[in-house]
Chain A
Amino acid sequence: MSKSAPLPVRHLAVTDLTCLRGGTTIFANLGFSAEPGTVTLLRGPNGAGKTSLLLCLAGILRPEAGTIAWSGRDAEERPSTDMHLVGHQPALKGGLTAAENLQFWAEINSGDPNLIEGALDNAGLSHAAHLETRLLSAGQTRRLALARLLVARRPVWLLDEPTAALDSQGDKWVASLIEEQIGAGGLVIAATHLDLALKKSRSVRTLKLGPGK
């Protein structure tokens, strides 16, 4: 996985973004930008709108007002095909093995099936490749959910609490994944309570959400 080829360049500019859910304003007039090769950490208390912001960026929630502009892309392309969203749910099928789950995501995201073995190895799951996913522990499931990002390379990662359920080794692994992604020119936006064990502080921005920001 090291020395990966550079990823397509994507810039993100968010202006005056307002998000309502169930009639309540989650956040209003939010503006920020993100450059390729950087990671933006979304911080804030529970209910501050970290997940809602990620869902807006992912094109799943429609913002009430404001614009989200991704530049660097062909106007013809669908924005959703150059991003990965990892939410709280793992998007894995318990009835399939770890390898089969990755195989599926590699195929449907037009990734590279040759990367599956490496991704499992990278996630520390090569011994569990042929176990049904429902038998994996919470931490292993999270690792597998993140391994999905490695089988189809895309420039933008939207991560919601990527280190939830992970041990300290797992925290370091997530940090290394993010560093590798931004090292290749990718753009990462991660909602997190905990500090990620990131080294390159130059390319880390923090965006505070919620009251008293």
Chain B
Amino acid sequence: MSAFLALIRRDLRLTLRAPGEVLTLILFFVMIGVTVPFAIGPDKVLLARLAPGIVWIAALLSALLALDRLFRPDQEDGSLRALRHADISLEAVALAKLIAYWLTTAVPLMLATPLLAVMMNMDMALLGRSLVSLLVGTPGLAAFGTFGAALTVSLRHGGLIAPVLILPLSIPILIFGASAAAGGALASAGNAALLLLAGLSLAVTALSPFAIALALRLSED
């Protein structure tokens, strides 16, 4: 267990030492919220109705932006190879990387969501629903993302391939995430969507370490 925590701690520490990347991520997330009203016009009612979906798209795109720094630095400096000989299995390594990725991307994005809410004219209830749906859904997104990053880690210019691979896989999470966040007349359907989202997210997160570890093993062959 301490070996598992050591890996999460190391990744968190590295992220905190170079906070620029997370700040860029948050800025990107907020900028999407800033640009959308320019594109669709300053109709407050329309914006509020679209807001949950836009929050989800912004979160998805921002999370994809961070994929390339998930395994590539470890691959380049040889840590990934050395981690094959760690006292924990590669599956546990994968889960630790996934947790660290979630903590350093999804959590900052959720913290920045209120900022987005102001720009999208969301009320408190809608903001609350959006945050809950993000909290429930982002582990699944992170699991798909980590899998994509593991699959493409050995490609020299794989930077954009992982997002392209992962986007279609993420669509179910996006559908249930956005409908779980929707308020108003759709709120009762939203509760059902939230449960489905939770199930989906849990299943993906639970199964992903095996797929990620397999992808990492194959990447060397």
Contact = CB atoms under 8 A, between A and B. Distances in A.
Interface string A98-109: 001000110111
A144 B83 CA distance: 17
Contacts of B81: 58, 60, 85, 87, 89, 91
A108 B221 contact: no
Nearest to B4: A108
Contacts of A130: none
Contact of B221 (A61, A80, A85, A91): A61
A93 interface: yes
Interface in B82-139: 82-89
B7 interface: yes
Contacts of A62: 221
Nearest to A81: B87
Nearest to A101: B10
Given A83-B85, A107-B2, A110-B3, A93 B10 contact: yes
Given A95-B14, A96-B13, A108-B7, A85 B220 contact: no
**How would you classify the secondary structure of chain A's contact residues: helix, strand, loop or mixed?**
loop
A90 interface: yes
Interface residues of A, number: 31
Nearest to A154: B85
Contacts of B84: 58-60, 80, 85
Most chain A beta carbons < 10 A, residue from B6, B77, B82, B85? B85
A108 B77 contact: no
Given A89-B78, A91-B79, A95-B18, A108 B3 contact: yes
B1 to A, nearest CB: 11
A109 B78 CA distance: 15
A176 to B, nearest CB: 23
B90 to A, nearest CB: 9
Contacts of A104: 6-7, 10
A91 B220 CA distance: 16
A80 B82 CA distance: 10
Given A61-B221, A90-B78, A81 B85 contact: yes
Interface residues of B, number: 26
A148 B87 CA distance: 14
Most chain A beta carbons < 10 A, residue from B81, B82, B88? B82
A109 B85 CA distance: 8
A55 interface: yes
A70 B89 CA distance: 19
Given A61-B220, A91-B81, A109 B76 contact: no
A83 to B, nearest CB: 6
A93 B220 contact: no
B76 A108 contact: no
B10 A96 contact: yes
A70 B86 CA distance: 18
A87 B220 CA distance: 14
Contacts of A58: 81, 84-85
A213 interface: no
Contacts of B157: none
A108 B86 contact: yes
Given A60-B84, A85-B85, A108-B86, A91 B10 contact: no
Given A81-B85, A108-B88, A110-B87, 13 more contacts: A58-B85, A62-B221, A78-B89, A80-B86, A87-B81, A89-B76, A90-B77, A91-B82, A93-B77, A107-B3, A107-B6, A108-B86, A148-B82
18 contacts: A55-B220, A58-B81, A59-B84, A60-B81, A61-B221, A78-B89, A80-B86, A89-B77, A89-B78, A91-B79, A91-B81, A92-B79, A93-B10, A95-B14, A100-B13, A105-B82, A107-B2, A109-B87
Interface of B: 2-3, 5-7, 10, 13-14, 17-18, 73, 76-79, 81-89, 220-221
Closest 4 CB pairs of A and B: A89-B78, A107-B6, A110-B87, A91-B82
